[in-house]
Structure 1
């Protein structure tokens, strides 16, 4: 939650660091996860330079699959939570994989940490996703980052399980549309975006028809780049909103 003073409050399950208040997620008492007063729910937005501490105020907050992202008045984005595919805009240090092949990386970000990858864009109005994130800025441009297997980022460049160059991105990748986008939604390996003129596009992995593209059993289920949703049910209707989940999608439309 974002209050009128620019403070961030979080509550619920914090095991993946998504509450941003402590690394003691296994032992911290439940009242620190949720309480009626709000006293223990505030996320400290205090940071340290070489010479001093400074505080920032939150302007906007986004939360989805095991993560939280905060946009602050210093123009920066801060993130915390599960970052296993660099979806928080914070690079994962591959050097933490030991010589014996043991994966020693800590893939959780427990406290608000600057997310440098978001700094190239001034103002995001939506950030959605789980293992990948899809971001919409206030100019209607769409970006994506994180896990790209099954071409979840809509870039069309992942070629299969042996592709070690395009399976993950820790920097923003622009998704090209020839029209202004006004809304996005994303979950596991699936994404959808819609325009101001009533069209919607979907991409990712269509396991149960959730992309709304009418794919048949014999069709390729991996949709590499955004494809327009077309259905007889949508004739004479304009799409004004959509929400995609792991296995189904809800579309809001108005009659033309």
Structure 2
């Protein structure tokens, strides 16, 4: 199954001071000029750049402050008002030498000039200066200011908006993967209250978009207009790839798992309002932008790149390109809340490259971790690792109790003689199948969900590193799928095996099948207790399959002729059988929508499920 930076500017240099304007000097010696004060810079200093993030460990408090803007999709710098210019200290004037007493002739000439001169001349020019007084300095300064051209005040500079970083196009690798081409009809069922069914927010043909009891074709994903070719189910959202290389998402977007803006100004419906009539209300009250499939902007990709596969966790989504690159968005969560998308990014709102992995050919996603297999069969893991679902030890991030390994790293030693050919993931455990057909499991094992009975029944039981599942050694397993506490597999010859938790009928076996040899009972009493854990993989009788899928606590198997069977926990109609009671044994899903159709794939999230059939078989079967 399927898991928010600002450009700084240097402060401008202080404005150059204007040189003093020369005046016609009188015969009397003028006192020395006082240095003009320098103009203070009015521009505010730019904020200092943030310190670089630690490569090995990131401080959660620093990361949250730095990346809150990333989560909002903005990088704004608050405009603080510029500080008032500071007054420069005036250099104390040197004591002026006593002026010589003017002669009578000079005094008469000065009086005549004052009488016949320009009446507009200021008093400061005509009036004799007082000896050694500060007032003389002030008069000269005022005269200079009047004589000099006034300098226009520089406009206050506003911080320029942050420019988007240009997209760096990756060098194209050799083509490794090919996208499916068959257009699919998509059938959905289950609760859907978080929009995960993709049916929109209103009734269509009198049918509500929630609590869908049996498979219903999704009218927003019509094969003729949309043409879905691949799907992935996350916990409460889904991702689809179309035939024309587009990505669509729908469901809950609290942690940006949809990779697009779903803001909505609509109202909120009061589910406790007794006066409302659910059957008569055409609008469910869900956010239509979440509950309706919408396109993700994938411009981050190389123009020639083709998407070939999709995967989904509880709060993150992933796509794989034909040349082996992986792009993702959203975040990983742990028991204490959000762990992060990378060591430096808390939540990634739009698609971004995962640079540490190249040449990838397979993806698998658990609740909050991911597996990626490269062309050489090496398996990389990243995400939450508190239950050893990464298959390697991780360093606990400061401020978080949950261990996280947000940088992809190999989960074991792979060589030319030992390499993986397929990967799969449950909520908290993982698998790969090697080149010799052996299954390797690791992670949470409290219900023996890895297929290894080590400490099964102990609440903290975990398998720290990939370990070969001996009980599957000779079974020729071709596919493994996993839920929360159980797993399912099918072999090359069509057998179906299940193991793990029993109490929700996840294993699809009758109660009388379990014994003290193959199961663990409540209170360790097979006589009076209820069977709790099926310790090892066990073949389901009278069932064959070419494909299997595990939901949280339910399962699907598909036969070679396209019939789909389901069983397990069904409280939210996720089995598609039209009931909320558990479905004890594998049971064919038979309703008008699927009758005569050849189902080729099934997937499930927390409270919903999806099955698909090629659109072309509709004409063949006359439906």
TM-score, length basis structure 1: 0.78
Q: Which of 415, 418, 421 is equivalent to 1:56?
A: 418
Worse-matched range after superposition: 56-65 or 14-23: 56-65
Residue 19 (str. 1) matches residue 387 (str. 2): no
- What corresponds to 2:501 in structure 1? 147
Match of 1:188 in 2: 552
Q: What are the Cα deviations for residues 148-183 of structure 1, in whole angstroms up to 9, with x where unaligned?
A: 1122100122799786463211211111235x4121
Query: How far did 1:213 drift?
Result: 1.0
Contact 1:79 1:114 in 2 (8 A): yes
Query: Which of 393, 400, 405 pairs up with 1:33?
Result: 405
Residue 203 of structure 1 and its aligned partner are, at CA, apart by 0.6
Question: What's 1:111 paired with?
Answer: 465
Tell me the matched-pair count: 231
For the 8 Å contact 1:143–1:174, the answer to whether it is kept is yes
SS of the residue 1:150 aligns to = coil
Counterpart CA distance in 2 for 1:198 and 1:225 is 19
Q: 1:208 to 1:165 in 2, by over 3 A?
A: closer
2:165 aligns with none
Residues 190 and 246 in structure 1, CA contact (< 8 A), matched pair in contact too: no
Separation in 2, partners of 1:125, 1:228: 21
1:77 alignment partner in structure 2: 439
Give the TM-score normalised by the residue count of structure 2: 0.34
CA distance in 2, matches of 1:209, 1:62: 25
SS in 1 for 2:471: helix
SS at match of 2:451: coil
Structure 1, residues 50-107: CA drift from partner, whole Å, max 9, x if none?
Answer: xxxxx8322322212111112224553322111110110111336xx9xxxxx6x641
Pick from 172, 176, 182: which aligns with 2:541? 176
2:607 counterpart residue number? 247
Question: Using the alignment, how far apart are the partners of 1:93 and 1:161 within structure 2?
Answer: 15
CA change 1:202–1:145 in 2 (3 A) is same
Does the aligned pair in 2 maintain the 1:15–1:26 contact within 8 Å? no
* Contact 1:23–1:110 (CA under 8 A) maintained in structure 2: no
Who is 2:591 aligned against?
Answer: 231
CA distance in 2, matches of 1:203, 1:64: 18
SS state at 1:117 partner? helix
- Consecutive unaligned residues in structure 2, runs of 5 or more: 1-371, 515-520
Q: Does 162-171 or 231-240 show the bigger shift?
A: 162-171
Structure index of larger Rg: 2
- Contact 2:390–2:443 (CA under 8 A) maintained in structure 1: yes
Over 3 Å counting, the alpha-carbon distance change for 1:117 and 1:24 in structure 2 is farther
Equivalent residue number for residue 346 of structure 2: none
Q: Where in structure 1 are there 5+ consecutive unaligned residues?
A: 47-54, 98-102
Contact 2:439–2:477, Cα closer than 8 Å, also in 1: no
How large is the Cα RMSD of the aligned pairs? 3.1
| Greater fraction strand | 1
| Matched residue, 1:5 | 376
Measure how far apart 1:141 and its partner are. Answer: 1.2
Query: Are 1:133 and 2:487 matched, yes or no?
Result: yes
1:161–1:111 distance in 2 versus 1, CA, 3 Å = closer
Distance 1:124 1:210, change over 3 A: same
Name the counterpart of 2:46: none
**Cα deviation per residue 1:10-52 (whole Å; 9 max; x = unaligned)?**
111111111112165567x99x8234xx5xx112227xxxxxx
CA distance in 1, matches of 2:476, 2:597: 34
Which among 21, 44, 52 is matched to residue 412 of structure 2? 44
